[in-house]
Amino acid sequence: MRFLYQPDSVLTAADLETLALELLSEAPIPGVEGCGFDSRVIRQTLLQAAVDQKSIKAVTDSTRGTYSDDYTLAQLHTVPPAELEAIVNDLFVQQAAMILGPVPRIICLDFVDIHYHGCPHAETGELCHTKPRDGTSQCHRYLAGFVLCQAKPLIVAVTPVRGDEPKSDAVERLLDHVAALPFSVAGLLADRGFYDGTSIKRLDAAAPVALPTIRRGKQMAEKLDTAVSYWTEYVMYEGSERELRFPLAVCVSYQQGNRGKHGLLVRAYVACDLADRTPKEVEAIYQKRSAIETAFRTMREARARTSTTDPVVRLLFVLVGFLLRNLWLIVRWGVLATPRRGGRALPVWFRFELFREFIDHSLDETLRRTWEVPTNSVGIPATYSQLDAG
């Protein structure tokens, strides 16, 4: 992947379009057999749908240089999911190598749920269930890894999650992608969704782990019945073949009127291989993972809209959103940020919204967007005009 670096020049909308298309050119689109098409046009259509948060149909209906929406989607339906996941995660590795370097990093893990009202495309196991929103609890789910870095918070790994597979299988796939990154993992921060024995074992085998516990059971209640922070050990599935022991960091803090609440707040964290830190330090590290919500929000701002039931096309749209978000961070830090002592000064004006507008503007010319519509050749009836005059 070519990287744009022009310290003595300017950054144009066409430059950003070229960089984005170079990323998308790696995505495999074999196309319908015997159906000739220009894959660059397909990718340009996909890119404009992403940066403009539109459907493929909305783009093809308003441009002269694209194929029809049915034709475009027919080609996108041929994308092989396993190959797509492997190639995009290789691109994440390349993006990380550009601006992160070999310094050990902490990675946050979280599930991304895209709520869905339709039926399964082929199997019911494609869909997961989550908290109801907008009248549905069904969703397509993705597991993402995010680097904890204030100036360069890149997404570094993504894998789709099926509803009929254990979460630990998705964790296994994601950690395989993480293992290819050009730096060592200093720690893994996960949320309560990973609080099960198999997932904890797999995470602990890869790097130090911190994740909050779920408040249930007499043993956990006894651990949380305290007024001071302390280290202890917790036994999960005690007495069974699945028995698992791990360090537990119990943290006590004062709510100080936050959200109208007062008194002590007691939290507990699974904290494997973090015994060299105090429980409060474990909690402070974990709370930094809240930045992952911004990463997911910006991905949604570059996700094409669709009503297709095909989970592969939906996966493609999500991965394109993450790739574009990473490209924005690379350009912002590598090309536009001002070097200074203590770290580069990021250009606060170069928001993700502006990045998308640059690409959208360039694609308007490339795809020959139409800025005129036919009128009805009748206008306002004369009787209405007479009434206004009276």
pLDDT score at 131: 87
pLDDT score at 41: 95
Residues of the chain with pLDDT under 50: none
Question: How far is it, in rounded angstroms, from Cα 354 to Cα 356?
Answer: 5
Domain of 336, CATH number, reads: 3.90.350
Residues 302-326 have pLDDT tens digits of 999 999 999 999 999 999 999 999 9
Beta bridge partners of 133: 136
Residue 368 lies in a domain: no
Residue 371 lies in a domain: no
**Domain span at 138:** 13-358
End-to-end alpha-carbon separation of the chain, Å?
A: 68
Residue 186 lies in a domain: yes
Residues 97-148 have pLDDT tens digits of 999 988 999 999 999 999 999 899 999 999 999 988 888 999 999 999 999 9
Q: Alpha carbon 374 to chain centroid distance?
A: 40
Residue 175 lies in a domain: yes
Residue 258 lies in a domain: yes
Question: How far is it, in rounded angstroms, from Cα 286 to Cα 210?
Answer: 7
Domain count, the chain: 1
φ and ψ at 285, to 5 degrees? -65, -45
Residue 115 lies in a domain: yes
Residue 89 lies in a domain: yes
Residue 7 lies in a domain: no
